[in-house]
């Protein structure tokens, strides 16, 4: 973060009021000082992405109210201290990508305050304490890439808030407990490359929220349960390289969003259900089973050839598998069709001579507007009810609804009456008014991976990315359409009267939750880089969603070149002028400006301010004239107290010093505290935002570009 190097001083933890230490993403080395265990007020310890080594102090947490510990991506070793949750306040324990050994302390099995646990890629071993499986508030439990043994405890039924259970690449054995069927919030269960045995419990069909199930490379057997039709949100199913028998459940064809299906390397028998043709699969593999019978018509195409290898009983897999009579009959029918085709071709040649002139005229007229559709690549992130061709046909100037820093936006009304927003990303030939692509690369080689990451984001306050269409260097992003447009357009126009204070407050809270999700709950974290009122869109009920990732950058481990100016005038954090570096604190500053817009009704830059921007104008006006000269007069005084509190939150976010700006998670809590009666139901229930999207265990866990 600041390129600090050397060892941590022994006395760095001695100040009695030190409650947090954030020194992540530096070049610090050496051990964590023993004084860390004697800091009486220490609640947050974030030292991830350094080169720290050696064991942790044996009594770390024994005298401290630790709540957030992130020591990921170092070279720390030894055992996890058994005192780390002695205060009972520990919420997050992130120790991934180190060399910790030994077992999980029994005391952590009693740490009921935990909400996120990430211990992946260490050298931990032994059995996991039974209580650790059933912690009631944990939403993420990630033990991937260790040497754990034993079995999954039936006590896991107590983990009612668990959303992601990731335990792949270990030595876990035994059967999958039927008690897992009680995990009503479970979205992802990944236990690949273990030694699990037994069958899939029928109770797993109760997991209505299940989106990903990966159990490949185990020793599971029995039949695949027919109750899979209840997994309506399942997008990925991987049961490869086990011992499953029986037929493929036809009910799999009823799963509306399933796009990844791998049942290879089992002993499945019978035919391939015709209903599987209903699925829109990006990955499909039934190889190395004992399937038989004819292939469904859709799967007879050569594109699916590799999906059925190693099933000698399948007709259509390779030539000659069916009976000789059937082959002979097909050859006879083929000869007849050849003769008919020759006759039809002769007729077509005559017709072509007449129609050629018409075709030639029409093709030349539309030459500049037509694309080679065969070269378009569609990457979908949801089940789609349209094709890329339907999108391309509507991209003309009559449908343009906006143009921003990252591209031109079109409104496309589909054949089913629904609307989507299509963003054509700017290239070097941005001035082109048609759909011609530029001759230069638009983005670096990581573009596709970044878009795939953004497409998998699922959050009520993030605009949904339906799909991405790519053609050489031309890229189209298809988003859900927001009928009420952007907050900026509405707030700074004659329609601002539609936004009373309760609506503005709810918009601020919605946008804060969306940004908090990107910063804290995405792996790797995402910095938006262009937060502004025009990038906060409103649906039909004026609920806000964060949009436009045209300048966003998924954070990786390596250094990234940020040659594009990050942000928009009036929203750019002051430190950017001398660092040319953005992180989540930059987003928080920009969001503070948005809050000030909501409270004052004024744009970030206005002639009224002179040489000041909105932040400086608010500070100066408060000091010289008082609060009433800052608040938007159109809002009246009925909610003056709430408006003052929200204004102070905005000023806190827009602090000149990044270290003084709160995290987005803290901003959400402060906004909720302004008007507790507006606290969302999910927030009242467990005090946490929805669980974050998980991408790749090897991704960096830093939160700064």
Q: What is the pLDDT of residues 349-371, one digit of tens each?
A: 877 777 776 776 666 555 544 55
Residues annotated within the binding site for ATP are 424
* 73 dihedral zone (left: phi>0; alpha: psi -120 to 50; beta): left
Half-sphere exposure at residue 204, Cβ-oriented, CA atoms within 13 angstroms? 18
Band of residue 137 on the pLDDT scale cut at 50, 70, 90: very high
Band of residue 132 on the pLDDT scale cut at 50, 70, 90: very high
Residue 379 maps to which CATH number? 3.30.200.20
| Structural contact between residues 532 and 568, judged by C-beta atoms closer than 8 angstroms | yes
CA 287 to chain centre: 30
Higher pLDDT, 619 or 388: 619
180-194, 262-276, 454-468, 659-673: segment of lowest average pLDDT: 454-468
* Domain match, 260 and 350 both: no
Q: What number of other Cβ atoms are within 10 A of residue 32's Cβ?
A: 24
* Domain match, 474 and 493 both: no
* Domain match, 106 and 252 both: yes
What is 149-172 written as a DSSP string? ES---GGGGG-TT--EEE--SS--
Band of residue 558 on the pLDDT scale cut at 50, 70, 90: very low
Owner of token pair 């029928």: 202
What does the alpha-carbon distance between residue 278 and residue 298 come to, in Å, rounded to a whole number?
10
Residues designated as active site: 530
* Domain match, 123 and 258 both: yes
Report helix, strand or coil for 217: coil
Orientation of helix 664-674 relative to helix 501-520, angle to 10°: 150
* Domain match, 451 and 531 both: no
Residue 21 maps to which CATH number? 3.80.10.10
Domain tally, the chain: 4
Average pLDDT, the chain: 83
User: Which of 480, 499, 525 is a domain's end point?
Assistant: 480
pLDDT at 288 over 90: yes
**DSSP conformational letter for 481:** -
Check residue 384 and give its pLDDT.
78
What does the alpha-carbon distance between residue 23 and residue 2 come to, in Å, rounded to a whole number?
8
* Domain match, 540 and 672 both: yes
Check residue 336 and give its pLDDT.
59
Check residue 299 and give its pLDDT.
82
* Domain match, 530 and 468 both: no
| Structural contact between residues 76 and 45, judged by C-beta atoms closer than 8 angstroms | no
pLDDT at 470 over 90: no
* Domain match, 133 and 217 both: yes
Cα Rg of the chain, angstroms: 29
User: Which of 230, 245, 266 is a domain's end point?
Assistant: 266
- Token pair listed for 69: 């510990």
Distances (CA, A) of 169 to 141, 166, 193: 14, 10, 5
Check residue 431 and give its pLDDT.
37
* Domain match, 100 and 233 both: yes
Distances (CA, A) of 196 to 169, 173, 218, 251, 518: 11, 4, 5, 25, 34
CA 463 to chain centre: 12
User: Which of 454, 480, 506 is a domain's end point?
Assistant: 480
Residues annotated within the binding site are 424
CA angle 661, 666, 672 (to 5 degrees): 125
What is the chain's percent helix, strand, coil content, to nearest 5? 30, 20, 50
Check residue 679 and give its pLDDT.
52
What does the alpha-carbon distance between residue 666 and residue 48 come to, in Å, rounded to a whole number?
20
Orientation of helix 584-600 relative to helix 664-674, angle to 10°: 30
Closest CA to 244 of 210, 289, 287, 274: 289
* Domain match, 385 and 532 both: no
Check residue 35 and give its pLDDT.
92
What φ, ψ does residue 595 adopt, rounded to 5°?
Answer: -60, -45
What is the greatest pairwise CA distance in the chain? Answer: 97
* 512 dihedral zone (left: phi>0; alpha: psi -120 to 50; beta): alpha
CA 686 to chain centre: 21
Residue 343 domain boundaries: 330-365
* Domain match, 260 and 336 both: no
Owner of token pair 């817009």: 597
* Domain match, 465 and 513 both: no
């Amino acid at each position: 973060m600041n390129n600090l190097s050397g060892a941590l001083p022994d006395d760095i933890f001695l100040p009695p009021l030190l409650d947090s230490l954030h020194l992540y993403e530096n070049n610090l080395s050496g051990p964590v000082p023993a004084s860390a265990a004697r800091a009486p007020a220490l609640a947050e310890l974030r030292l991830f992405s350094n080169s720290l080594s050696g064991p942790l102090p044996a009594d770390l947490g024994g005298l401290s109210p630790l709540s957030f510990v992130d020591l990921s991506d170092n070279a720390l070793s030894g055992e996890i201290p058994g005192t780390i949750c002695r205060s009972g306040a520990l919420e997050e324990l992130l120790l991934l990508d180190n060399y910790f050994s030994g077992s999980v302390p029994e005391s952590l099995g009693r740490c009921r305050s935990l909400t996120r646990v990430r211990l992946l890629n260490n050298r931990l071993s032994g059995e996991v304490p039974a209580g650790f499986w059933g912690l009631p508030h944990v939403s993420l439990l990630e033990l991937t890439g260790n040497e754990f043994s034993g079995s999954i405890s039936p006590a896991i039924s107590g983990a009612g808030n668990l959303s992601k259970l990731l335990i792949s690449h270990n030595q876990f054995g035994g059967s999958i407990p039927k008690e897992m069927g009680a995990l009503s919030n479970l979205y992802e269960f990944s236990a690949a490359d273990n030694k699990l045995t037994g069958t899939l419990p029928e109770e797993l069909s109760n997991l209505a929220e299940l989106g990903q199930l990966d159990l490949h490379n185990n020793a599971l057997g029995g039949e695949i349960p027919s109750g899979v039709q209840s997994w309506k949100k399942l997008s990925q199913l991987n049961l490869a390289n086990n011992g499953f028998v029986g037929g493929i459940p036809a009910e799999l064809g009823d799963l509306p969003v399933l796009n990844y299906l791998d049942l290879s390397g089992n002993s499945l028998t019978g035919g391939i259900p015709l209903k599987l043709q209903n699925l829109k699969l990006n990955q499909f593999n039934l190889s190395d089973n004992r399937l038989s019978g004819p292939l469904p018509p859709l799967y007879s195409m050569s594109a699916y050839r590799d999906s059925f290898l190693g099933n000698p009983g399948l007709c259509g897999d390779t030539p000659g598998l069916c009976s000789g009579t059937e082959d002979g009959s097909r050859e006879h029918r083929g000869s007849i069709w050849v003769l008919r085709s020759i006759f039809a071709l002769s007729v077509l040649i005559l017709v072509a001579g007449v129609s050629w002139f018409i075709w030639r005229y029409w093709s030349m007229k539309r030459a500049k507007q037509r694309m080679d559709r065969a070269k378009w690549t569609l990457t979908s992130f949801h089940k789609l009810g349209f094709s890329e061709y339907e999108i391309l046909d509507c991209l003309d100037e009559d449908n343009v609804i906006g143009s921003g820093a990252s591209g031109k936006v079109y409104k496309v009304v589909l054949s089913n009456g629904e609307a989507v927003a299509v963003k054509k990303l700017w290239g070097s030939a941005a001035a082109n008014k048609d759909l011609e692509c530029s001759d230069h690369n638009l983005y670096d080689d990581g573009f596709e991976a970044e878009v795939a990451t953004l497409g998998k984001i699922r959050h009520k306050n993030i605009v949904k990315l339906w799909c991405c269409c790519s053609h050489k260097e031309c890229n189209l992003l298809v988003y859900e359409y927001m009928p009420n447009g952007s907050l900026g357009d509405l707030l700074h126009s004659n329609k601002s009267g539609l936004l009373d204070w309760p609506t503005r407050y709810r918009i601020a809270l919605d946008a804060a939750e969306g940004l908090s999700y990107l910063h804290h709950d995405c792996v790797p974290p995402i910095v938006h880089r262009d937060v502004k009122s025009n990038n906060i869109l409103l649906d039909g009920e004026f609920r806000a969603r964060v949009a436009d990732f045209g300048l966003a950058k998924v954070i990786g481990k390596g250094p990234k070149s940020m040659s594009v100016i990050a942000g928009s005038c009036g929203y750019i954090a002051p430190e950017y002028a001398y660092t040319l570096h953005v992180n989540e604190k930059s987003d928080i500053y920009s969001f503070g400006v948005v809050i000030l817009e909501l409270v004052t009704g004024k744009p970030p830059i206005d002639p009224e301010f002179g040489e000041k921007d909105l932040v400086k104008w608010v500070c100066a006006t408060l000091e010289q004239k008082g609060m009433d000269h800052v608040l938007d007069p159109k809002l009246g005084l009925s909610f003056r107290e709430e408006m003052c509190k929200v204004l102070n939150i905005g000023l806190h976010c827009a602090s000149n010093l990044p270290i003084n700006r709160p995290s987005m998670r803290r901003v959400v809590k402060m906004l909720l505290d302004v008007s507790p009666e507006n606290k969302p139901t999910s927030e009242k229930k467990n005090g946490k935002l929805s669980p974050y999207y998980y991408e790749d265990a090897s991704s960096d866990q830093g939160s700064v570009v």
